[in-house]
Chains A and B, each alone.
Chain A
């Protein structure tokens, strides 16, 4: 009798795990970069290629660094949220246009509004590699010392902004 119960027992154990798994988000991948200094770079700006943007310019401020691209569908979802956020002035938002063309990117910003104080052009995706970009969009919270405090993979949502990003930004700004 006992050995005939074994399949049932194994199955029930598996169900427990599946149940817990339902409440976890597989996309929430910890980044090895969290707690480490944001990789340095200097890239031409989207609006004016003669000017460069570097995270060095941002030392002393808490800021959001949003990696996006005009070809990315999910970026379309988060875009209005970023536009709202930048209007609110709570935290400066900078962007990096990842593996994209200047024309497409500028057209995209004209259509959807520009939430970024400045956008760096990472046309060949080199800097993206240093940041461990899995897929676009990704958003980093970087503190006054230039340390990455948080990484959001996938689009920023109202919920993640309210529950994670903004409280964290407030705490870091107070430091």
Chain B
């Protein structure tokens, strides 16, 4: 009964979404205030209906209702409750429901926080979001219904993919989807602006907080995914250039470009057409990512069950949404006008250059991801494009981008002068060159890549330090007052940029100085790596809720002093008969010690892999700082609506009095 309620409310949600996609947009075009006014109640009704469907599916999982096909394929009676709930998005149908759910959350958020928008603008934005929702609900109801019954019911479920049975599964997909789907807001703002012909600074000002919010979620989602892969896949990597990872990374790159170009459009009125294009691209790449993951055109470690009808449906949907919006762009963008003029040497130019580099980077990731498919489609054979391609293409693109990051915030709007910039940044440059040359010698060895990475990282540190110094000196107020006087969004920028520096430093050090060994170990035997002694304490059998495991322990000592015990498991998930490795990691600021248990060998020996990963945690710390920077920018005074409205109200009443 409950699953039928879920199914039924999905059908109702589709009808509501259809109404939301039609009436407010027509109302906005014809000036019908009643139809425009429908947007907000419809957005809320849609949210309620999808939420009911979501709760119904959660209920089916919680009560182990194996007469629902989706539950029977993705759950099991032995699966712990937290994973039974996370299993809602463990498969194809449920992740689509999560997609639709999150889209309706964003839609309702826009309907709640858009009181300051003109009625027609709001109606169009919510209408466009409704149309996207129609696509996803239709997709679900036609070819991917999570509530489909299995008659007769299965006795027990086939279990959630053991790879996904991890706390990461609970947070990573919702975070990532919040980011992905969040770009639909910026997209809808852009489409609404194109439809209404109101591409102005106000449009950019409204889009900015939504874009930043989505970007923060996406950053955290990618960070979580990378961290998860690091400890779950058991071979110490943190990014694999896998098709599915790329699918989340491309919107991030374009979204980053969008945040910056929105700033220019708001402050200077320039780059309007470009900003609109980026807003369309950021969300289009999110959709494309969904297509790539869900259609099975590409193989990846994130393999999902595939169905050609689904692929075709998403492709048609992509053509309608992306093709339609790009056609609208081609039609309306030429009338937009160019905005403020700027010099070749100006903050605008630096930001534009950064934007282009980020967009080209996203495009090259897209190319690398689709290249095997292109060759195959042209009958030129099968290849796979792996890390060598991405590493080769990425470093030359990111080098100038990171270098410009140091200059951009210091340059003036409109017109700046190169000699002056050079003069102001000479110390930062000197410090970073010196660090890049000397630090690797202290650490052991120097290679051009280590030198380059350190230079870029310290360049951002030093130029940011200079930026803060410039901003804080000069006036005779107290330091604390001066700090407070600076808007939070500015601090957000500085912290996000420092996050990039921390990230770059982590990547450089871990790539340059990591070491690993694969050894055969008998209990009591000692292996040596990076100055540490790893004593193998043997393996014990343990029984988990839905798996059996061999747990190996390694005592880590340095110069005879005990440091830590690494505990790594080789699990066998009994339902799917699938072996999994749980790495044993001792994380620290300076380095991670990482052990992963391999295969049992003859005579009670085990193969064990040991890794020493210096500063690898800095990679995720850097991502967290970027997200923190975004949050700081969001907490800026100018986004606190109520206060500002109140102030404006007071001003008006004062005027009335005067």
Contacts and interface: CB of A to CB of B under 8 A. Distances in A.
A90 interface: no
Given A4-B329, A70-B577, A18 B299 contact: no
Given A29-B382, A73-B577, A8 B329 contact: yes
A29 B384 CA distance: 10
Instruction: Point out which of B298, B311, B373 has the most chain A C-beta atoms below 10 A from its C-beta.
Output: B373
Interface stretch (B43-51, B315-323, B407-415, B545-553): B315-323
Nearest to A69: B577
A5 interface: yes
Contacts of A20: 377
Interface bracket on B: 35 or more
Interface stretch (B210-218, B250-258, B289-297, B488-496): B289-297
Interface stretch (A9-17, A38-46, A165-173): A9-17
Contacts of B487: none
B624 to A, nearest CB: 34
B153 interface: no
A24 B377 contact: yes
B522 to A, nearest CB: 18
A26 B299 contact: yes
A50 interface: no
Given A11-B326, A26-B296, A27-B299, A17 B373 contact: yes
B370 A17 contact: yes
B118 to A, nearest CB: 26
Interface of B: 273, 277, 280-281, 284, 291, 295-299, 308, 311-312, 315, 318-319, 322-323, 326-327, 329-330, 333-334, 370, 372-374, 376-377, 381-382, 572, 576-579, 599
Interface in A49-87: 70-73
5 contacts: A4-B333, A11-B322, A15-B323, A24-B377, A30-B382
A30 B599 CA distance: 30
A5 B327 CA distance: 7
Given A1-B334, A7-B326, A17-B373, A22 B577 contact: no
A21 B315 CA distance: 11
Given A22-B308, A73-B576, 8 more contacts: A7-B281, A7-B326, A8-B326, A8-B327, A14-B370, A21-B297, A26-B373, A73-B577
Contacts of A72: 577
Contacts of B377: 17, 20-21, 24
A22 B327 contact: no
A88 B315 CA distance: 42
Contacts of A99: 599
A160 B84 CA distance: 36
Contact of B315 (A1, A18, A30, A70): A18
Given A21-B377, A29-B382, A73-B577, A15 B319 contact: yes
Interface of A: 1, 4-5, 7-8, 11-12, 14-15, 17-24, 26-30, 70-73, 99
Contacts of B370: 14, 17-18
A19 B323 contact: no
A4 B273 contact: yes
A71 B572 CA distance: 9
Contacts of B323: 8, 11-12, 15
B330 A22 contact: no
Contact of B298 (A11, A14, A26): A26
Contacts of B280: 7
Contact of B578 (A1, A4, A5, A71): A71
B558 to A, nearest CB: 34
A18 B382 contact: no
A4 B311 contact: no
Given A8-B327, A26-B296, A30-B381, A18 B333 contact: no
A77 to B, nearest CB: 12
A31 to B, nearest CB: 11
A70 B299 CA distance: 24
A12 B284 CA distance: 13
A72 B572 CA distance: 12
Instruction: Point out which of B298, B334, B382, B577 has the most chain A C-beta atoms below 10 A from its C-beta.
Output: B577
Contacts of B299: 26-27
B605 to A, nearest CB: 13
B329 A15 contact: no
Contact of A15 (B296, B315, B576, B599): B315
Contacts of B576: 73
A22 B280 CA distance: 24
B50 to A, nearest CB: 28
Given A1-B334, A4-B273, A21 B329 contact: no
